[in-house]
Amino acid sequence: MTEKKENIIQAALDLFAQQGYHATSTSKVAQQAGVSEGLIFRHFGNKEGLLKAIIALGEERLRSLYADVVLETVPKKTIEKALRLPFSVPESEYDFWRLQYKLKWELPEHTSNKMEPLRVALTNAFQKLDYASPEMEAEFLIHFLDGLGSGLLKNDVAQKEKLLEYLMKTYKV
């Protein structure tokens, strides 16, 4: 991975996040990266190839974000870590995650369901804690976390600490 290739990815990350994939031209990406436009096509084949590189990056970072929750064996801690997950993302990374959310809607065909391992881990945790409907409990929580993540990225969540406090109390963790 040469320096200029990394510059291209970083520029595309920035511009796709700000304006969206379709609204960003390859010439703008080249300009922001300080690179000739042709180099984008040498390295990535076409515009979609550049996008796929970025999506792959997102999936990798999502996996490593989940890893801590999924590998946890103590059920209460699994749930606690899941609840803390959306709040644990630093604001400096919001642009990056906003792009991933955006792409889920802009290009649904590229979107694998990355939530699955998290759902399994939560279902197991609720089961071990003798919840009546572990599967539904996990499904419920997954949708909440998805909605909360979306809300945080859009700055739609007013009192983060109070909400986290409430969650800890509700789930007794």
Residues of the shown chain interacting with DNA in the complex, contacts defined by CB under 7 A: 2-5, 24-28, 34-39, 41-43, 46-48
| Contact partner, 148, from DNA, its own copies, none, Cβ < 5-8 Å per class | its own copies
**Least distance from C-beta 141 to DNA, angstroms?**
39
Is residue 172 close enough to count as binding its own copies by CB under 8 A?
Answer: no
Query: Which sign, positive or negative, has the C-alpha torsion 163, 165, 166, 170?
Result: positive
**Three-state SS sequence of the chain:** CCHHHHHHHHHHHHHHHHHCCCCCCHHHHHHHHCCCHHHHHHHHCCHHHHHHHHHHHHHHHHHHHHHHHHHCCCHHHHHHHHHHHHHHCCHHHHHHHHHHHHHHHHCHHHCCCCCHHHHHHHHHHHHHCCCCCHHHHHHHHHHHHHHHHHHHHCCCCCCHHHHHHHHHHHCCC
**Least distance from C-beta 28 to DNA, angstroms?**
6
Is residue 156 close enough to count as binding its own copies by CB under 8 A?
Answer: yes
Between 6 and 135, whose beta carbon lies closer to DNA? 6
**Least distance from C-beta 101 to its own copies, angstroms?**
6
What track of x and - describes contact with its own copies for positions 70 through 109 (by CB under 8 A)?
Answer: ----------------------------x--xx-xxx-x-
Query: Which sign, positive or negative, has the C-alpha torsion 26, 30, 33, 35?
Result: positive
Other Cβ atoms closer than 10 A to 112: 8
**Least distance from C-beta 25 to DNA, angstroms?**
3
What track of x and - describes contact with its own copies for positions 8 through 47 (by CB under 8 A)?
Answer: ------------x-xx------------------------
**Footprint of its own copies (CB under 8 A):** 20, 22-23, 98, 101-102, 104-106, 108, 111, 113, 115, 133, 135-137, 139-140, 142-148, 150-151, 154, 156-159, 162-163, 166-167, 170
